């Protein structure tokens, strides 16, 4: 099939979105692998002439939702080694860390919309199709996500993220 190279070309974008969505590199790689596996198996359902990228994001969203629904709360493993803290060498690293924390503080529905529109550059219509929600809901969630992110990053309302040294 000629769609194989097209799928491969989109892997970096899938990895970036998965990493932002789940927040963990290993879980993100697993999500991308599960997404590509499902996409390859269901490639016959892809309609030629439509956006393969949006279709893959839809598949990833559905795989992620299924994984979240299937997950059961478990106790953390005690034998895991914590990540070692590293001193930031640039001020930008602190800002990026604060941004990651602020993104993690957003509700999942708002974070998904914000990442698809801002990071993956999908249109409102494409985002609505990926998530299976009305375009008005996309706009509403995006506005709320941007406002909450603005509050978290600027500290208005007394909720600014604290920089840990």
Are residues 92 and 69 located together in one domain of the fold? no
pLDDT tens-place string over residues 41-71: 998 888 888 888 999 999 999 999 988 888 8
Are residues 148 and 113 located together in one domain of the fold? yes
Predicted pLDDT of residue 1: 43
95 pLDDT band, cuts 50/70/90, is confident
DSSP-assigned states of every residue in the chain: -THHHHHHHTHHHHHHHHHHHHS-HHHHHHHHHHHHHHHHHTGGGSPTTS-HHHHHHHHHHHHHHHHHHH----PPPTTPPPPPP---SSHHHHHHHHHHHHHHHS-HHHHHHHIIIIIS---HHHHHHHHTS-HHHHHHHHHHHHHHHHHHHH-TTS-PPPPP-
Residue 144: give its domain's CATH number.
1.10.10.10
Are residues 106 and 147 located together in one domain of the fold? yes
Q: Decide if 81 is inside a domain.
A: no
Q: Decide if 165 is inside a domain.
A: no
Domain stops at, among 41, 73, 105? 73
Q: Decide if 145 is inside a domain.
A: yes
79 pLDDT band, cuts 50/70/90, is low
124 pLDDT band, cuts 50/70/90, is very high
Predicted pLDDT of residue 87: 58
Q: Decide if 34 is inside a domain.
A: yes
Using the predicted structure, report yes or no on whether residue 3 has a pLDDT greater than 80: no
Are residues 46 and 95 located together in one domain of the fold? no
Residue 27: give its domain's CATH number.
1.10.1740.10
Q: Decide if 61 is inside a domain.
A: yes
Report the number of distinct structural domains present in the chain: 2
Residue range of the domain that includes 25: 1-73
Domain stops at, among 27, 45, 73? 73
């Amino acid at each position: 099939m000629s769609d194989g190279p097209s799928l491969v070309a989109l892997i970096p974008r899938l990895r970036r979105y998965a990493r932002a969505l789940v927040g963990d590199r290993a879980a993100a790689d697993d999500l991308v692998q599960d997404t590509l596996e499902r996409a390859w198996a269901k490639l016959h359902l892809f309609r030629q002439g439509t956006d393969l990228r949006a279709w893959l994001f839809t598949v990833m969203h559905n795989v992620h939702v299924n994984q979240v629904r299937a997950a059961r709360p478990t106790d953390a493993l005690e034998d895991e080694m914590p990540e070692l803290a590293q001193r930031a060498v640039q001020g930008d690293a602190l800002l990026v860390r604060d941004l990651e924390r602020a993104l993690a503080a957003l509700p999942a529905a708002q974070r998904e919309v914000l990442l698809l529109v801002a990071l993956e550059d999908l249109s409102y219509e494409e985002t609505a199709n990926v998530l299976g929600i009305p375009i008005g809901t996309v706009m509403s969630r995006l506005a709320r996500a941007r406002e909450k992110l603005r509050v978290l990053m600027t500290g208005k309302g007394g909720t600014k993220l604290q920089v840990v040294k």
